[in-house]
Chains A and B, each alone.
Chain A
Amino acid sequence: MTLTYHLQIVNLLAALLLLISFAMLSQRRIAGLITLFAWQGAALTASTALVAWSTGQHHLYYSAALTLVLKVIGMPWFFFRIVKKLDMDRDVEPMINIPTTMLIGIVLVIFSFNLALPISELSGTVMRSTLGIALACVLLAFLMMITRSKAIPQVIGFLAIENSLFFAATSATYGMPLVVELGVALDVMVGVFVMGIFFFQIRETFDSLDLKHMEKLKEK
């Protein structure tokens, strides 16, 4: 194993991303979840900037800056404001208890590490071995969306998927073209605002943000 130091740090940040994904799975409070989401964005920014610096891919600097502004500062601030307005920062028990979720999480990690091994052989980038971690983060965020019934954790799970896909793109092919990245960022931003409006509507209709109540809308 002879890697340069900044690549070792990128590997460390990748491991950190995985750790944050697990922390999100085990987090009971919404405020804690938002903080973790911000940290995930910060780790992503740092790793993207490091990759940009070590490989000389300048467009990655822009995506790192975009991540910093949108996912570390903008969205967490927006979510904190919503949580404060809706006054809903309480312990939320997920649908499956947390130790079981964690065990499922480990199985997912093993699955995705195995799945990513042959794929990363095909890639020519310096940080291809982190592809498995990116895939694991995607699946863990999926798991979080499945096991939560409240609206905000689900949206954060969705954004975490976007984070990890971004990381996967950076590790497999040094990121997408800047136009695509700008488009995705815009989509995500608009999506978050639309969902923010939805939160208020759901809350006004059902007096709660628990999406289980939406089953009442089914036609009999």
Chain B
Amino acid sequence: MSTGILLQLAQTLLAILLAPLLMGWVNQCRAWLQGRSAPPITQPYRTLKKLFHKDAVIAHNASPLFRFAPYMIFACMALAAGIVPTIANDLPFSPAADVIALVGIFALARVFLALAAMDIGTAFGSLGARREMLVSFLAEPALLMVFFTASFIAQSTELPVIVATLAHREFAIYPSITFAAVAFWMISVAENARIPVDNPGTHLELTMIHEAMILEYSARHLALIEWAVALKLFTYSALGIALFVPWGIAAQGDLAALPLALLAMVAKLLLGGAALAFLETISAKLRLFRAPEFLGTAFLLAVLGMLIHFLLEV
């Protein structure tokens, strides 16, 4: 039991510490692909350090919610990162929340972000919050559908059971999970505010979604939100790995498999980050009103995956 708790703490800490590195890797790949000279891979850490050392400036009419929100968002993301199995399966935290509750945790963070954005009352803040809600209310049912498809195969909504079913049993091709994987990729692109739904590289542009919400934040609050954003990308990547390419995650109590699991995770994250950067480079940002169509397609794919599961795999 105590090894389990230690392992759990180690995994959560690892996720929190590695998350900015993943962000740095994606940025570096993007810079290479666009023919720019890349910033160092540790650039996100430097930005965070710089922000933590600055003095926070807060608007006069800000309510306590505005100060509280960054901590809440960061806590939600850290909790989510602890629940998703990254290197070891079936840790003490995992029974605390199944995939449906996980979607709820993401939603909680999003609600606080949107409320904080509207709190000051600037035009950009409420514009960003509304757009975020538009994107997320379409992404959430699609995400649930993806989880349901995986749950139908594993006969459980608990993440450890899903991972154990897909990783440690006899290999089989599931057409439904292929559909779910494509849908999951589209959803995570939208949820993490990447191209083609939102552009993470813009400030003060009329098309922005995520950046518009955090314009009013500075110093440590901004640092926490930036870190939470990196953590969200990491958690979504870990979730995608756990659902679709879970091979290598150590089974319960299998301590000897941990070094290999760590290596496998790093390799998968490197590949996934490079793929994300590549897809971002070759695609253009969608018009805002095409975003519902994009997410509608994701929902459609997830539903098709579920239907195909009933037709072909039962």
User: A-side interface residues toward B, CB under 8 Å?
Assistant: 1, 3, 5, 8-9, 11-12, 14-15, 18-19, 22, 26, 98-99, 102, 105-106, 109-110, 113, 129-130, 132-133
Contact = CB atoms under 8 A, between A and B. Distances in A.
A14 B296 contact: no
Interface stretch (B59-67, B172-180, B219-227): B172-180
B300 interface: yes
Contact of B307 (A3, A98, A113): A113
B96 interface: no
A11 B311 CA distance: 10
Contact of A14 (B297, B300, B303, B312): B312
B304 A12 contact: no
A11 B175 contact: yes
The B contact surface, by secondary structure, is helix
Contact of A113 (B293, B300, B311): B311
Contacts of B68: none
Given A5-B173, A106-B300, A129 B312 contact: yes
Contacts of A3: 172
A1 B174 CA distance: 11
Contacts of A11: 173, 175, 312
Contact of A12 (B178, B297, B301, B311): B178
Given A8-B172, A98-B293, A132 B311 contact: yes
Given A1-B313, A99-B296, A133-B311, A15 B303 contact: no
Contacts of B310: 113
Contacts of B179: 15, 19
Contact of A129 (B293, B301, B304, B311): B311
B79 interface: no
Interface in B270-303: 292-293, 296-297, 300-301, 303
Contact of B175 (A5, A14, A102, A109): A14
A15 B300 contact: no
Nearest to A120: B311
Q: Is the interface of A mostly helix, strand, loop or mixed?
A: helix
B308 interface: yes
Contacts of A132: 311
B311 A22 contact: no
Contacts, number: 56
Given A26-B297, A133-B311, A106 B175 contact: no
Contacts of A14: 175, 312
A22 B304 contact: yes
B175 A12 contact: yes
Given A5-B173, A12-B173, A12-B178, A18 B300 contact: no
A18 B305 CA distance: 11
Contacts of A130: 311-312
A21 B238 CA distance: 31
Given A99-B292, A109-B304, A9 B173 contact: yes
A106 B173 contact: no
Contacts of A9: 173
30 contacts: A1-B314, A3-B172, A8-B173, A9-B173, A11-B312, A12-B173, A12-B175, A12-B178, A14-B312, A15-B179, A15-B312, A18-B304, A19-B179, A22-B304, A98-B293, A99-B292, A99-B296, A102-B296, A102-B297, A105-B300, A106-B300, A106-B303, A106-B304, A109-B307, A110-B307, A113-B310, A129-B311, A132-B311, A133-B308, A133-B311
A12 B311 CA distance: 12
Contacts of B300: 22, 102, 105-106
A1 B165 CA distance: 14
A99 B172 contact: no
Contact of B172 (A1, A15, A129): A1
Q: Of residues A3, A18, A19, A113, which shows the largest number of chain B Cβ atoms within 10 Å of its Cβ?
A: A19
Contacts of B297: 26, 102
Contacts of B312: 11, 14-15, 129-130
A12 B312 CA distance: 9
B175 A15 contact: yes
Interface string B159-194: 000000000000011011011000000000000000
Contact of B304 (A19, A26, A98): A19
A91 to B, nearest CB: 12
A101 to B, nearest CB: 11
B141 to A, nearest CB: 13
B186 to A, nearest CB: 13
Nearest to A98: B293
Contacts of A12: 173, 175, 178
A14 B179 CA distance: 12
3 closest cross-chain pairs (CB), A and B: A15-B175, A8-B173, A12-B175
A105 B301 CA distance: 12
